[in-house]
Structure 1
Amino acid sequence: MTELVKKLENIGFTTYESKVFIALMKGYNLTAAEVAERSGVPRTSVYEILKSFAEKGYCNEIETPTKLRYEIIDPQIIEGKLENEFNNRHKKQLTELKTSFEQMKPMFNPFIDGLGEPDVQVLRGFNKFRVVKFIELLQKAEKEVLIMNRLEGHISPELDDTAKSFYKKGGVVKSLYESSTNFKFEKDNKWYDVTKKDFVNLLEGFSAQGEQIKLLDKVPINMTIFDRKIVFFSLVDYTTPKNNRTDLIVRNPEYADFLCEMFDVYWKRAETLDSYKSKNNL
């Protein structure tokens, strides 16, 4: 009984409404007094709830010469009514969500008035916002993207539309990957632990899509440089949980150019994919 009351509460009934509803479901052609007795709900509240249920079409109100009596209607019909109510409410909420945010988006100003984008932005926590910011930077990139990356987590070989668009307009992507297999690989809609062969196949797929790739035994830092103007850092600390990690976006061409020189040093030192394959007999 208590569990069923909780379930009804979870779908929007009050505690008293839940108890009255169950009493009606168990009984037949009951007076308000009988419902109150069986449900344990005060009679004054029972009258209000029964009237509400009758208006909503959950029960029939039957007038007799002496008293009003109440009987629940077919549970399947009530379930259908509630499902339609939930769907309609959900659709309305989604509509309100979209229209209200469309009105609010023009109000959004992430910058200090008159100063434009900040030189340094800090992104904290493990959330989708950092992915959105990365994609936004890639969408705005025009000529070159330099990536230094230690793959981790779950990696899909599929190239997203943003990267495809960048390649189509002649953009160049050069990536230095750490030769580690500490991540999972998507294959046939399932995730698998990565072998060195899987790792090579993944990078060959990236290469076939237009990415220039080399490998390092250890990547010093995860970073991406966009058009030698903007740097996106991922400050990875494996002693820190993902939800506490920090990313930095630095908009400074001189600093970006300095890091490009560092990237070039590592690029010259790195091995090619063919060399890695030969060394590992792949």
Structure 2
Amino acid sequence: MQDIVQTIQSLGFSQYEAKAYLSLVRQGTASAYQVSKESGIPRARIYEILKGLEEKGIVMKEERNEAIHYSSLPVDVFLESLQTRWNHTYQSLSHTLKYLEKTEPVEDNRVMTLKGESHILAFCRTLLKKAEKRVVISLWDKMYENLEQELKDTECDLKGIVFQKENPLSGLDTHRKTKYVENVGENKWFILSIDAREMIYGPALEERETAFYTDDPVHIYLLENYIWHDVLVNRLVKKEKDDIENWISNERDIFFQDK
């Protein structure tokens, strides 16, 4: 008998619900007291259990001679209702699972750490070969020299800025000579972005052989705009008076100064 109880439970019923239904199947029609006694369900719970089964349409309640009696839904009807419900669930689940199976999973955008100079340079060269439309860079002299041949070979639109390097490739600006650039020391960096979909950035490799790869659109948007800001300021300063350079240098010192 325990096996049939467990089987009914597997269909979504509680243990007490399964026992109450089986008790009524055996007895035909019975009072709550009789169901409680025959099934072993505590009397304190029997009315709650029978009411729940009634609401599910599994148990029917009727009044006889001013007494309440319960009877089970006929077994054939019960089984038919289960089959109908199962078929509906099966069809719905089958459709959903098959749709998901055909749909390629959407990967989360990544930010990955790259280690080792040769590995990082190889990754940069691979990205440059993959580029289809646009390459955006911000490179200091040594990193530019490492990637110069691949930059020459690309047929994409080349944009960005290069530090401490005269006469870079067409499309690239040379950053003006400033006190900040001359004294930046170890705080150099590089940014390489292709087609606004993949990017590698990090500190100068001669200082720290670590970089970061990302295909996250927010990272790419922010860093490409950072490069554009650098290019824009560089072009504007060239058009203005000489003393603006001192003003920019002073304003930068104030901005990054701790109070």
Task: Note whether the superposition's TM-score is higher than 0.5.
Answer: no
TM-score by length of 1: 0.35
TM-score by length of 2: 0.38
Rg larger for: 2
